[in-house]
Amino acid sequence: MAMAGKDELTPREREVLELVLARWHDKEIADHLVISVRTVEAHVAHLMAKLDVHSRDELRKRCEDR
């Protein structure tokens, strides 16, 4: 399975990704974007699936490598 690029993410996924990369917690992201923590968790799960990673640390590393 080919890895999706950042350009294949939705605008909201890109917003969430930037905050995850800045090491924000789900609650902080939710408050900032005025969405629920559960919605943040769903976006993070979709990001991880699209980018074929299994942890936030791996997600950060994958994005730093690009």
Q: Where are the domains of the chain?
A: 8-59
Contact 46/29 with Cβ under 8 angstroms? no
Calpha distance 40→15 (Å, rounded): 10
CATH level 3 topology of 8-59: Arc Repressor Mutant, subunit A (1.10.10)
Structure confidence at residue 6 (pLDDT): 54
Please report, in tens digits, the pLDDT of each residue of the chain (66 residues total).
334 555 589 999 999 999 999 999 999 999 999 999 999 999 999 999 999 999 999 999 988 876
Q: Is 40 exposed, middle or buried (0-12, 13-18, 19+ CB in 10 A)?
A: buried
CB 17 within 8 A of CB 49: no
What is the spatial distance between Cα 4 and Cα 32, in angstroms, rounded to a whole number? 26
